[in-house]
Amino acid sequence: MGIEDQRRRIPRTDHLLSLSAVTEARTRLDEAEIRAVIAAQQELARSGAIAAEQVEPAVERELRGRRTLSLRPVLNATGVVVHTNLGRAPLSAAAREAIGEAAGYVDVEMDLGSGKRSSRGAGAREALLRACPDAEDALIVNNGAAALLLAVTAFCTGPGDAAGPREAVVSRGELVEIGAGFRLPELMTAAGARLREVGTTNRTHADDYAEAIGDATGCLLKIHPSNFRVHGFTAEVGIAALRRLADEHGLPLVADLGSGLLHPDPALPDEPDISSALRAGADVVIASGDKLFGGPQAGLLLGRREAIRRLARHPLARAVRSDKLALAAVEATLRGPEPPVSVALHADPARLRERTERLADRLAEAVHRRFAVVPHDGRVGGGGAPGVPLAGWALELPEAAAERLRAGTPAVVARVRQDRCLVDPRCVPESDDDALLACLVEALGGAEREAGPDGAPSGIGGAPVGRR
């Protein structure tokens, strides 16, 4: 058959548009997306890459698999609870439901009783204050960096500063760089504030702050250095000591804690929490909503009423305010059951071992090879409690399994260490254990199908069943 005959047999666009698969796809995709799929398959047929008879089933297959969202669901089998590359905190079922309800028209800024405009996100604010009674007021913005930016801008710049921006006095050892090269000093100076660094990288004393305070001082700033720990010959000034200095000079004290822990947690004894920082005397405490708080991306500001209201009245507050979906998720996270981050953080090691061994047994039955269960320490992640191990267990696979697992549906992201792929169930809900098993069987079974004549799988090893 000649090329021209092949091309004449390619299904016409109007015929392909009448397929039932196209009708179904129109409930999910726009017309341009559908026509692009059709045109792509027709072009493959014109080039000879596929036969004309394959165009129609290829269009149907492509449309069935086409999604409106490029983000793919992932099972987090790394053991890292707040995994920044996987979206940090997974939302609770209550928060997900709240986002769905808030997606339409809602009374985010209206009093339905009077029909007049009301305070934006009042419900989320009230839930936050109920959960943290040490705070007199609260404000929610779009992320932690925005919260810090707002606080420093409001306290260190403004129309009354005729002599120029005022200074935020901060320890040199707290001017940190976090993920993706993001540097807190650059964020704050970008807003026009000036930083007055005191102390040294490893040691800062109260006298260092006292000597730096002057007419140009706008606030005292305390930043929790996430992602690392400095050990050895060190010294820092706590919030209570800074409170005394702030009172002597009539200055606001801002504490950026980062991780969003509301109250002390015995599992993380050295991690600062919002309530303790407020009781120690901070005027404003800043934290992220999508870390140990367990909610959506948000910047949480809690503290003294006048300080919070000063931030809320600043023009920048409008630019960094939270949308209705984040407000709904914050409120539901607080009013709903224990969020997934807390569940994973406090997972019982004995229970994790049971789950991992059961997974290994079921996998062995399916692929006729047994893989070892090994101790594995999880991590908090997201800058919280750096270096603190979370005792647990993992299924040990060859390194080649990691890529296969990432390519599955859903994708499974495991930890690769020392040429091994470690599948840790800590952050996988127990209700997803069957889905995780199916992904493992697909990844390892695929290797078996690709085995050579001697039966050895391609890059995937393991002991035959019955051997350890």
pLDDT band at 340 (very low <50, low <70, confident <90, very high): very high
Query: Of the CATH numbers 3.60.70.12, 3.90.1150.180, 3.40.50.150, 3.90.105.10, which one belongs to the domain with range 74-82+344-464?
Result: 3.90.1150.180
| Distance from C-alpha of 159 to C-alpha of 384, rounded to nearest angstrom | 37
Q: Per-residue pLDDT tens for 167-180?
A: 999 999 888 777 66
Which residues, including other chains, have CB under 8 Å from residue 248's CB and lie 6 or more apart?
Answer: none
Residues 447-465 have a mean pLDDT of: 53
Residues 5-15 have a mean pLDDT of: 88
Contact 192, 157 (CB under 8 A): yes
Q: Is the pLDDT of residue 221 over 90?
A: yes
**Edge-to-edge strands of the sheet including 411-417?**
74-77, 411-417, 420-423, 393-398, 373-375
pLDDT of residue 373: 98
Ranges of each domain in the chain: 3-65, 74-82+344-464, 91-337
Q: Per-residue pLDDT tens for 360-393?
A: 999 999 999 999 999 999 999 998 888 899 999 9
pLDDT band at 192 (very low <50, low <70, confident <90, very high): confident
pLDDT of residue 452: 45
Q: Is the pLDDT of residue 124 over 60?
A: yes
Q: Is the pLDDT of residue 430 over 90?
A: yes
Shortest CA distance to 69 belongs to which of 87, 83, 43? Answer: 87
Q: Is the pLDDT of residue 193 over 90?
A: no
pLDDT of residue 465: 58
DSSP output for 291-326:
STT-SSS-EEEEE-HHHHHHHHHSTHHHHTBPPHHH
| Distance from C-alpha of 124 to C-alpha of 138, rounded to nearest angstrom | 9
Same fold, 74-82+344-464 and 91-337: no
- Residue 464 tokens read as 């035959």
Q: Which CATH class is domain 91-337?
A: alpha beta
| Distance from C-alpha of 128 to C-alpha of 374, rounded to nearest angstrom | 40
* Residue 187 DSSP SS3: helix
Q: Is the pLDDT of residue 33 over 60?
A: yes
N-term to C-term CA, the chain: 58
pTM: 0.88
Q: Is the pLDDT of residue 275 over 80?
A: yes
Q: Is the pLDDT of residue 463 over 60?
A: yes
pLDDT band at 454 (very low <50, low <70, confident <90, very high): very low
Average model confidence (pLDDT) across the chain? 91
Q: Is the pLDDT of residue 453 over 50?
A: no
pLDDT band at 329 (very low <50, low <70, confident <90, very high): very high
pLDDT band at 456 (very low <50, low <70, confident <90, very high): very low
- Residue 454 tokens read as 């001697």
Residues 261-268 have a mean pLDDT of: 95
